[in-house]
Amino acid sequence: MSDVTDPIVETRGLEMRFSLPTHFLSREKPVLHALSGVDVKIRKGETFCVVGESGCGKTTLGRAIMGLLTPSSGEVYFRGRRIDTMDEAERKPVRADMQMVFQNPYASLNPRRNVFQTLAEPIRHLMPEKSEADVRAQVEDVLDATGCDQSWQRKLPHEFSGGQRQRIAIARALVTNPAFVVADEPISALDVSIQAQILNLLNDLQDERDLTYMFITHDLSVVEHFGDRVAVMYLGQVMELAPTGNIFDDPKHPYTQLLLAAIPKLTGGSFDAPRTPGELPDPVNPSPGCPFAPRCAIAQDICRAERPRLRPIEDSGTMAACHFAENSRELIMDKENAGVSG
Amino acid sequence: MALLEVRDLRVAFPRGKKGEVEALRGVDLTLEKGQRLGVVGESGAGKSMLAFAILNLIAEPGRVTQGSVTFDGENLLTMSERQIRRIRGNRISMIFQDPMVTLNPVLSIGTQMIETLKAHRRITDREAHKLCVDKLKLVAIPSAESRMDAYPHELSGGLRQRVVIAIALLTDPELIIADEPTTALDVTIQAEIMSLILTLCRENNVALILITHDLGVVAEVTERLMIMYAGKCVETGRTRDIIDRPKHPYAVGLLKALPQNSTRGAKLYQIPGSMPPITNLPSGCPYHPRCERATDECRAAMPPLEHGVACFHPMHETPAEETEATT
């Protein structure tokens, strides 16, 4: 994105390939392409949402940025420094500055550690210069900031509800005072009445602590409320990258339009027509063309032959990887109308 | 006569030496032929328990302590296992959350489908095969004939759930109970599966009980709605009415808390606290500790379900003439 100057996080040509076990009769070495060339720039202070269906690479992208996975090729920058090639000693202070909240607070908290131990661990490990008194003070601060009670310190995870656990997981991510937080589906494991509590908490913390979020989710309605910019991913590639308003008001990529049409609406009526079955293509043997072409209503020969590059669409502020992004909506509408009359 | 009538259904589980704890605390519902009902609630609200109790499938040590489930004039809860098999899986079909768990991984799709059919019909293998392929085509599975020989792991999640729906439709049921049928699926696949279920129910006049936590899905698919909280129905009525004009403060809160219902970037409305576990329910209305409208009355007694809402202080007053008619 040319308009982002001085990003806090940047990826360049990020690729992630996983070798799969070879079939015993086959010479082929199957390779799964989880990320194929992802370039994103995340601005300081913004909420950058990454949206897509399972297998699209959104979690892999988050983990590669965090250094939990080593990219097969490409570069990751944090505050202008390349971090994916750093050794562990060099990386430690960087890790304190970038943290992660995971989806399932039942799995992400160690059941045998009380809340104090869980929260003290990142400080002791990543900030060894801190004294025990500092550790205690920082734990108390973060508990207050995340709406947790000080009495929780000696309690174990099983004593808490899902919403409370997710607060603790957020507290753990913030205890080292990071500037950048990757939140991977932080509300999808929670009950509906709790989701709003956690979203509001994340919002308040962002204001108070000047945080930058990378928010990974499959739920577009949350994105609309929460995000500043959105990257829509499909099969390891960014399909559309745009300010949130553009994604909802003027989606350029046919896949974004499909995702929007799939949101159940409180007004009803949008599930009345039967939909044709779609399937994610195989990430093991990607076709040379656009990964979405097999499901796309308006795919042409060029889409199957040539992979579209992510490019700015006119001066809308949106970037999309589609050969027909300029008039995809008209083309899809024509197609639908033709289908009805024919 | 209604297709399904549930009266004062209660399910309890043993706790401690002698005690019992109620997971379902007296639920009523009426479902007409071809009607689609949504049951919404948080985990632990008792919505799946309701589905299992309707089918008399409550597993030991749980038990139905009270109530009746009348399907087409017969009480399912007093039937013998032999009698209920004529209905369960035959006239009432089920669709569960995870198709990978529902389907047997070591049997081909065809084998599982024919087995289901032969459990309920006297039919030759050849006829059964043909019927199964027809149903696979009905749920829009591409190359249905060859999929009969496929195993569940060879299909995508969406196709697996389509197979489960095809199996549910094999016996031409009058009622389908679907428990979170799309929760394990991606959003675009959810839209496909839900619109498929909606179309099939409409075209074949099949009644549906759809259990979900997603108010959007309910708004798209169902005509009637029941909102459950802590083992009880707190509000019931036409789906449209409840979504447009909810009465129970919990229903109001749930709808208000949805990101769709708030302005971009504004703070979301949030219901304070969380649902109490059934082992530790407060006195009176179980929602009162989280409710901004709660009074002493709410702390003292459980409000009865009247005019579709179990609340002493509902949000939208019932019209005057309706109140008079009942007093």
Supply the ipTM of this predicted assembly. Answer: 0.82
pLDDT value for A35:
93
User: Residue B315 has which token pair?
Assistant: 């949000």
Residues of B in contact with A271 (CB under 8 A): 191, 194-195, 198, 220-221
Residues of A in contact with B243 (CB under 8 A): 266
pLDDT value for A342:
43
> Does residue B321 have a pLDDT over 70?
no
> Residue A326: inside a domain, yes or no?
yes
Q: Do A224 and B141 touch (CB under 8 A)?
A: no
> Does residue B68 have a pLDDT over 60?
yes
Q: How far apart are CA A142 and CA A147, in angstroms?
A: 9
Cα angle for residues B46, B50, B56 (degrees, 5° grid):
135
Q: How far apart are CA A256 and CA A267, in angstroms?
A: 21
User: pLDDT in tens for each of the 342 residues of chain A?
Assistant: 445 678 999 999 999 998 877 777 777 777 888 999 999 999 999 999 999 988 889 999 999 999 999 999 999 999 999 999 999 899 999 999 999 999 888 899 999 999 999 999 999 999 999 999 999 999 999 999 999 999 999 999 999 988 999 999 999 999 999 999 999 999 988 888 889 999 999 999 999 999 999 999 988 888 988 899 999 999 999 999 999 999 999 999 999 999 999 999 999 888 887 777 676 667 777 778 999 998 898 999 999 999 999 999 999 999 999 999 999 999 988 888 876 654
A276-285, B56-65, B230-239: segment of lowest average pLDDT: A276-285
B241 touches chain A (CB under 8 A): no
CATH number of B4-91+174-188+204-326: 3.40.50.300
Q: Do A193 and B254 touch (CB under 8 A)?
A: yes
Residue B266: Cβ within 10 Å count: 10
- B141, B220, B248, B278: which to substitute to probe chain A, counting the most A Cβ within 10 Å? B220
pLDDT value for A71:
94
> Residue A275: inside a domain, yes or no?
no
> Does residue B229 have a pLDDT over 90?
yes
pLDDT value for B324:
42
User: Residue B194 has which token pair?
Assistant: 């839900």
pLDDT value for A30:
79
Task: Give the distance from residue A229's alpha carbon to the nearest chain B alpha carbon, in angstroms.
Answer: 12
Q: Do A53 and B258 touch (CB under 8 A)?
A: no
> Residue A3: inside a domain, yes or no?
no
Over chain B, what is the mean pLDDT? 90
- What's the number of domains chain A is made of? 1
Per residue in B100-118, pLDDT tens? 888 999 999 999 999 999 9
Per residue in B140-175, pLDDT tens? 888 889 899 999 998 888 889 999 999 999 999 999
pLDDT value for B323:
42
In contact, B56 and B84? CB cutoff 8 Å: yes
Q: Do A219 and B267 touch (CB under 8 A)?
A: no
> Does residue B34 have a pLDDT over 80?
yes
Contacts 24+ apart (CB under 8 A), A202-210: A202/A170, A202/A226, A203/B267, A205/A145, A205/A146, A205/A170, A205/A174, A206/A45, A206/A47, A208/A145, A209/A145, A209/A174, A209/A177, A210/A45, A210/A179
Q: How far apart are CA A84 and CA B165, in angstroms?
A: 46
Q: Do A221 and B187 touch (CB under 8 A)?
A: no
Q: Which residue in A224, A259, A279 is closest to B259 by CB distance?
A: A224
Closest to A14 measured CA to CA, from A37, A42, A40 = A37
Query: Which residues, other chains included, contact B162 with Cβ-Cβ below 8 Å and sequence gap of 6+?
Result: A277, B136, B139, B140, B141, B193, B196
202-221 in chain B: CB under 8 A from chain A = 213-217, 219-221
| Preceding omega of B249 cis (within 30 degrees of 0) | no
Top-confidence residue, B60 or A251: A251
Amino acid at the residue B287: Y
Helices B157-169 and B187-204: crossing angle, nearest 10°? 10
Top-confidence residue, B262 or B23: B23
Domain ranges within chain B, ordered by starting residue: 4-91+174-188+204-326, 102-170
User: Residue A238 has which token pair?
Assistant: 């960014």
pLDDT value for A339:
67
pLDDT value for B318:
52
At residue B266 the predicted structure's pLDDT band, cuts being 50, 70 and 90, is confident
In contact, B135 and B113? CB cutoff 8 Å: yes
> Residue A274: inside a domain, yes or no?
no
Q: Which residue in A259, A266, A279 is closest to B187 by CB distance?
A: A259
Task: Give the distance from residue B310's alpha carbon to the nearest chain A alpha carbon, in angstroms.
Answer: 19
A5 touches chain B (CB under 8 A): no
> Residue A2: inside a domain, yes or no?
no
CATH code where residue A244 lies: 3.40.50.300
pLDDT value for A156:
95
The DSSP bridge pattern shows strands B224-229 and B232-238 to be antiparallel
Closest to A299 measured CA to CA, from A259, A238, A241, A258 = A258
> Residue A22: inside a domain, yes or no?
yes
Cα angle for residues B221, B208, B115 (degrees, 5° grid):
125
Q: Do B254 and A264 touch (CB under 8 A)?
A: no
Query: Which residues, other chains included, contact A87 with Cβ-Cβ below 8 Å and sequence gap of 6+?
Result: none
Q: Do A264 and B275 touch (CB under 8 A)?
A: no
Range of the domain at A119: 9-269+280-341
Task: Give the distance from residue B71's alpha carbon to the nearest chain A alpha carbon, in angstroms.
Answer: 28
Q: Do A225 and B199 touch (CB under 8 A)?
A: no
B279 touches chain A (CB under 8 A): no
